[in-house]
Structure 1
Amino acid sequence: MNIFVLEDQWIEQQYLKKVLERISTRLHLTSFNITIWSSAEELVTNLPTPSVQNVYLLDLEINGDKKAGLKLSQLIRQNDILATIIFITVHDEFLPTTYSYRTEALDFIAKDQDNIEERLSKDFQFVVEKINHGPQPRPVFKTAAGYLRINFANILYLEPNPTNSHQALLHTVDHRVITVTGTLNELEKQFPTLFRSHRHFLINPTLVVSVNLGNHTLQFKGESRTYPFSRLRTKELLKNLKELNQPFQII
């Protein structure tokens, strides 16, 4: 699980870090990475790969801007529909305002309460349940016949259509090949949960089970064939796979 804290006060940063570490121990979370940012600009510059594993703890007021956290939450939600957003702030009068930003925050915790750790612990229990049992997203692709909604878990990869530069071929885990509208560049922007491993491949990273660093190939779950990935994308590929918090082998 990846925790991103936006808080500009050092004392509050250290307090939240200790609270989160205790919660991690209590819930037996073996992978629990905490990153703390003091400004919204820093966090925006370093927005992670979209993932259900991402949890954002945002203060509303940052460096004098009382709505900095709200503005940032809107950007986060546009980029990362699967992430969890939690507000922790002294400005509880802004609670009704959060709904107009349509960020679907999980919780809104006032800093002057004495049950912050208890609230956060319950929130993280919910996040764990969402990760373990939540429904998979179902992306919608445009096709010549209309629109196709498909479970994310059924997508293996996409590659360019050699006969039409404005289309791509979507390969599924059950070996179907579906022609969809859009170039890989366009589809990469439209579906950020997919990963551009190569100029000719847009993959589902959750299905990768092994990465061969010697010949720069990867293998999907249930597939005997291997697929190339760009040498230049090696570091980003490994970072993406590690953030998913699921097992894979490096060869």
Structure 2
Amino acid sequence: MPCYILTDKAQDKRFFKKTLLDPIFYETPSALISALRKVKNGQVVILDSTIRGFNKAGLKTAQLIRQKDPDAQLIMISDNASLVGQCFEAQVGFLDFIIKQDFSSAFLDRLLRAIAKANLNLRRILELRPIPIRLPHGKTSKVFDLTRVIYITTDKGTHHLFVHEADRLSRIHASMASIPDCHDSLFQIHASFTINIAYLHDYDCGTHIVTMVTGHRLPVSRLYAGALREALRWPTAKKGVPIWSSQQVAVSNPPAAVE
């Protein structure tokens, strides 16, 4: 993931080019802010506290960024330790304030740890944020949070489906064939089952069974098995041997009443 860096110092640029994978430099606050407006929220931003002799340039820039982007991960670097208090009193939400110390190994170590923490924070933000999707429901549609949909199954003998979520069970009037078109994460594995791949824990291609992180075991029809492996880029495995296992966290709350 790129790091957006505000600095007008040639020495800083040389250092970051050598130590960071994808630094993008800006010498003025206006140039940085203009660039951030063109990308999605939630970027890692490193700000030099002093730009062109103005020792509050980094802080003022951080305040402007925060007004637009509540998810931005802001890291301040400075030669002036006296600015620490001012930066954190401003309540902008800095991830860290790092004294340059002539680009010592201690500075580099702390900077890399701050960037790693920033990227972890952004991943968590994305994972926890609801993803609204519309599933067909008769002549209308019904909104669900994709991050809570585990799998969908047919209500036998009817034209309805059951949507199994983390903490509830909902019923919609729809055909199973129409569900995978609603989102790429919804993948049909059987005439009676569509799963949210994000909740897939294990697939045994020998027995044609998927296990969800909730512990539910669902059959995979031979009609869909090849497409499932291709979609997830799974290699061919020996009969009876699981070929993939995720690190998803199991959902502890069982489905409740049908809505």
TM superposition score normalised by structure 1? 0.50
In structure 1, what is the equivalent of residue 39 of structure 2?
Answer: 49
1:86 paired residue number:
75
Structure ID, larger Rg: 2
Q: 2:8–2:28: 8 Å Cα contact kept in structure 1?
A: yes
Q: Which residue of 2 aligns with 1:155?
A: 132
Q: In 2 relative to 1, CA 101–34 (structure 1 residues): closer, same or farther, beyond 3 Å?
A: same
Q: CA deviation at 1:51?
A: 3.5
* Residue ranges of structure 1 left out of the alignment (5+ in a row): 22-32, 138-150, 158-168, 176-217, 225-251
Deviation at 1:124, TM superposition (A): 2.3
1:90-130 CA-partner distances (Å, limit 9, x unpaired) = 12211000123211111111122522111112112323432
Distance 1:102 1:116 in 2: 23
Aligned match for 1:71, one of 60, 64, 74: 60
What are structure 2's unaligned runs of at least 5 residues?
135-141, 150-181, 189-259
User: How far apart are 1:56 and its partner, in Å?
Assistant: 0.6
* CA drift at 1:63: 1.3
Q: Secondary structure at the match of 1:17?
A: helix
Q: Is the CA contact (8 Å cut-off) linking 1:73 and 1:103 kept in structure 2?
A: yes
User: 1:156 and 1:76 mapped to 2: Cα distance?
Assistant: 30
RMSD of equivalent CA atoms: 3.1
CA pair 126-60 structure 1, distance change in 2 beyond 3 A: same
**Could you say which residue in structure 2 is the equivalent of 1:207?**
none
Secondary structure (helix, strand or coil) at the match of 2:74 reads strand
Q: Is the 8 A contact 1:85 1:107 kept in 2?
A: yes
The percent identity for this pair of structures is 23
List structure 1 segments (4+ residues) > 6 angstroms apart after TM superposition.
none
Name the counterpart of 2:112: 121
Q: Distance in 1 between matches of 2:125 and 2:32?
A: 28
SS, match of residue 61 in structure 1: coil
Tell me which of the two structures has the higher relative contact order, counting C-alpha pairs closer than 8 angstroms and 6 or more residues apart.
Answer: 1
> Partners in 1 of 2:15 and 2:133 — Cα distance?
42
For 1:107-163, what per-residue CA distance to the aligned partner results, in whole angstroms no more than 9, with x for missing partners?
11112252211111211232343244x2558xxxxxxxxxxxxx6333238xxxxxx
Partner-residue secondary structure (3-state), 1:66: coil
Is this contact kept in 1: 2:49–2:77, CA < 8 A?
yes
Q: Which residue of 2 aligns with 1:221?
A: 185
Q: Give a deviation string over 1:24-75, Cα, whole Å, max 9, x none.
A: xxxxxxxxx32100111111121143434x1111001111211111011011
What residue identity is the alignment partner of 1:152?
A: R
**1:1-251 alignment runs, 5 A limit:** 1-21=1-21, 33-47=22-36, 48-52=38-42, 54-112=43-101, 114=104, 115-132=106-123, 134-136=124-126, 152-156=129-133, 172-173=145-146, 220-222=184-186
Give SS of 1:102's match.
coil
Helix, strand or coil for the counterpart of 2:20?
helix
Paired residue total: 148
Contact 1:50 1:82 (C-alpha < 8 Å) held by counterparts: no
Structure 2 counterpart of 1:19, one-letter code? T
